[in-house]
A and B are shown apart, each in its own frame.
Chain A
Amino acid sequence: MSEAATAPVGRAPDLRAAAQHAGVIWLGLFALGIGFGVVVTSHGFPWWLAPVISGLMFAGSVEFILVGMLAAGAPIAAIALTTFLINSRHLFYGLSFPLHRVNGRLAKAYSVFALCDEAYALTTSKDPKTLTSRRILWTQLGLHGSWAIGALAGGIVGATLLGGLEGLDFILTALFIVLTIDAYRATRDNLTLAVATGAGVVAFVLAPGSMLLVAMAIFTATLVSRHLLSRRN
């Protein structure tokens, strides 16, 4: 590691600040990564695929869904559409992420690549002026590393110790429930929650085989109508 440009407090003050702020989330991602690794091997894939997917992709929720689709041999177009719909929320993270605080082209590129939900939540909850370039990068590297190393551990352990364990994919259910509660808390938007749930129920009744795509399509169409109606009034 090279010299820190800012006045150092002890060794690697930015790493320390990042660890103090984000350490619990790092640990959590490590634990979820283990779950992901086990899910990958329980679908019959080799142990090394889990850290490869986690390292290259770093978008937890999509990865869990992706593994199921890969195991089922889903068409690449369906995988592309699902990835787009699930990760479309990332289109809006960049509007408030403090990328201007990150120095250097390569560092900026990595920062954008590794802009997952947790990185967004951890950095935008702080005053950008208090965030150094290194601190943001350490936060993201910590998230990325914990997730990939967790997946590696899960892939190795999963194949031998936890292979027969049932219900590991519940981690994904729990993740989405928690994220829904957090998103609702942030917006208190009853209408959106009702429309989304309604779209889910309708899609499940009409097309249980492709529920996710149909639900997202109904939901998006409803949002566009809602936008047009609210602008007219």
Chain B
Amino acid sequence: MHDYLYIAGALAVAVAITVVLRATPFVVKKTIDQAPLLIDLGRWMPLGAIAILACYCLTRIDYLGNNHGLPQLIGVAVTVTIHLWRRNAVLSILTGSIACILLMNTPLV
């Protein structure tokens, strides 16, 4: 049984933070435009934050299990290859994921 009060509370907090983050630049546009630190952070943060999330996902793969993370690594290779080739985010994500999921659920690997 889940604690729905906890889930509702956590969700409300996460939604509130997301909305405030999205609304803030419209409210303080001039301040952000004139704050050099924020301009620099705005330039560097998006790539860095996403790259860290990608690293985080790669460290969560179980490399010591019986398939040594091979399905995921092949999935990563497929995702990167398709993305460099076709530059279509959705296509890359779907083909990479399907490759990984197929490999994970077939007894051959």
Contact = CB atoms under 8 A, between A and B. Distances in A.
Interface residues of A, number: 89
Main secondary structure of the interface of A (DSSP, over half): helix
Instruction: Name the 9 nearest CB pairs between A and B, nearest first.
Output: A94-B25, A28-B90, A200-B55, A167-B104, A196-B48, A92-B42, A173-B57, A176-B54, A196-B51
Contact of A25 (B15, B90, B105): B90
B13 A95 contact: no
A142 B36 CA distance: 36
Contacts of A113: 19, 22
A170 B88 CA distance: 18
Interface of A: 24-25, 27-29, 31-32, 35, 44-46, 49, 52-53, 56-59, 61-62, 66, 69-70, 73-74, 76, 79-80, 83-95, 99, 112-113, 115, 165-168, 170-184, 186-187, 189, 192-193, 195-197, 199-201, 204, 208, 211-212, 215-216, 219-220, 223-224, 226-227, 230-231
Main secondary structure of the interface of B (DSSP, over half): helix
Contacts, number: 248
Interface of B: 2-3, 6-7, 9-11, 13-15, 17-19, 21-26, 29, 32-33, 36-38, 40-59, 61, 71-72, 75-76, 79-80, 83-84, 88-90, 92-94, 96-97, 100-101, 103-105
